[in-house]
Structure 1
Amino acid sequence: MNTLFPIFVKAENLHILIVGGGYVGLEKTTALLANSPNARLTLVAPEIRDEIRELAQQYPKMELIQEPYHALFLADKDLVIVGTNDKDVNRQVQADCKNRRILVNVADTPDLCDFYLSSVVKKGDLKIAISTNGKSPTFAKRFREVLEEILPDSLQETLDNLTAIRNKLKGDFVQKMEKLNEITKVLK
């Protein structure tokens, strides 16, 4: 049973550390910046891919540190994502985060994760996060592709219209919810 509690984090209000400068580090950095381009991000690794360096030039709140991981890099960090090919480093980062009560995700190692990164469908302001409880990121990715294809691009217009309606509604919270439920009943 999937007991995960889904949340959407305002990454631009956090300082996020990514440990790993290879392909996985690139993948996690790209996903983070695609969803939250104003996120404050520090990436640390002894070697950093050129594609990551190019991203850092495009995002002023992204800092690269080309050094091996050390626990000192956790200072003032709110969230950590680990994606190295060194299992010992991955375990050390996870242990250091636990000691500091910092939430951590260790790529491809569900047992070391406090949270999983979801596959995300985006249509304007609509975001749908997909989780397989860490069992199959590939399935989540394929399902995201299906949803992206079947959800119409006009959803943003619908969301904008519903926002305008909500802002004009009179009454208390319950009355507003009842009216919005009536209006959106067509979605069933």
Structure 2
Amino acid sequence: MNTLFPIFLKPDQIQILLVGGGPVGLEKFQAVIQNNEKAKITVVATEICQEFKIILAEYNHIVVAERDFINTDLDKKHIVILATNNDQLNQKIRTLANEKYILLNAADKPGLCDFYLGSIVKKGNLKIAISTNGKSPTIAKRVKEFLQDMLPDEIDETLHLMSQLRDQLKGDFQAKVSALNEHTKSLIDNDGHK
């Protein structure tokens, strides 16, 4: 049973530490930065691969330290993403993060994770996160592809119109919810059947 609680973070309002500079580190970096180009990320790695360096050069606000991890790298961080294959280092950082109440994700190590980076479907302002509870990133990727193809490109226009409608509605919360539900009913109706 998937007991995860999904949330959407604002990565430009929190401090993220990414430990690792290889292809997996690059993948995790891109997962965050593609969702918010202003994400506040510090990258620490003993060695950063050339492809990652080229991409990092595009983001002046990203802090990069090509050196070994030190304990103070966790200071004033909200989340940590580990992208190393050094089990001893990963466990050390896991312990330190626990002591500082910092949430942690470790690539391909579900047992070390406080959270997972799910597959993301984006259509304008609509964003859907997909999780398989760490069981199968491949299945999450396939579901993402399916939803990406299925959702109409015009969904962002619909979201904009619904936002305008919400701003114009009068009454208490329940009245607004009822009115919005009535307007969006056709989105899930299929010839009058749900």
Q: When the two structures are superposed, what TM-score results if normalisation uses the length of structure 2?
A: 0.94
In structure 1, what is the Cα distance between the partners aligned to 2:137 and 2:69? Answer: 26
Q: How far has the Cα of 1:55 moved from its partner? A: 2.1
Structure 2: any 5+ residue segments left out of the alignment? 189-194
Amino acid at match of 1:126: L
Task: Tell me if structure 1 keeps the 8 A contact 2:23–2:52.
Answer: no
**1:153-185 CA distance string (max 9 Å, x none):** 110011011111111112121111110001111
Structure 1: any 5+ residue segments left out of the alignment? none
Counterpart for residue 152 of structure 1? 152
Counterpart for residue 50 of structure 1? 50
Counterpart for residue 23 of structure 1? 23
In structure 1, what is the Cα distance between the partners aligned to 2:180 and 2:154? Answer: 19
Structure 2 residue matching 1:12: 3-state secondary structure: coil
Structure 2 residue matching 1:11: 3-state secondary structure: coil
Counterpart for residue 192 of structure 2? none
**1:96-137 CA distance string (max 9 Å, x none):** 111111000011111100001110000000000000000011
Counterpart for residue 9 of structure 1? 9
Amino acid at match of 2:20: G
Q: Is 2:110 the counterpart of 1:86?
A: no
- After superposition, residues 89-128 of structure 1 pair within 5 angstroms as 89-128=89-128
Q: How far has the Cα of 1:95 moved from its partner? A: 1.1
Larger mean Cα displacement after TM superposition, 54-63 or 124-133? 54-63
Amino acid at match of 1:123: K
Number of equivalences: 188
In structure 2, what is the Cα distance between the partners aligned to 1:136 and 1:92? Answer: 26
In structure 2, what is the Cα distance between the partners aligned to 1:173 and 1:148? Answer: 32
In structure 1, what is the Cα distance between the partners aligned to 2:76 and 2:53? Answer: 23
Counterpart for residue 76 of structure 1? 76
In structure 2, what is the Cα distance between the partners aligned to 1:141 and 1:87? Answer: 26
In structure 2, what is the Cα distance between the partners aligned to 1:30 and 1:50? Answer: 15
Structure 2 residue matching 1:105: 3-state secondary structure: strand
Task: Tell me if structure 1 keeps the 8 A contact 2:2–2:133.
Answer: yes
In structure 2, what is the Cα distance between the partners aligned to 1:83 and 1:94? Answer: 12
Task: Tell me if structure 2 keeps the 8 A contact 1:122–1:148.
Answer: yes
Where in structure 1 do 4 or more consecutive aligned residues deviate above 2 Å?
A: none
Counterpart for residue 161 of structure 1? 161
Task: Tell me if structure 2 keeps the 8 A contact 1:56–1:63.
Answer: no
Query: What is the aligned-residue identity percentage?
Result: 48
**1:65-120 CA distance string (max 9 Å, x none):** 01111211101111100010111111111111111110000111111000011100
Structure 1 residue matching 2:129: 3-state secondary structure: strand
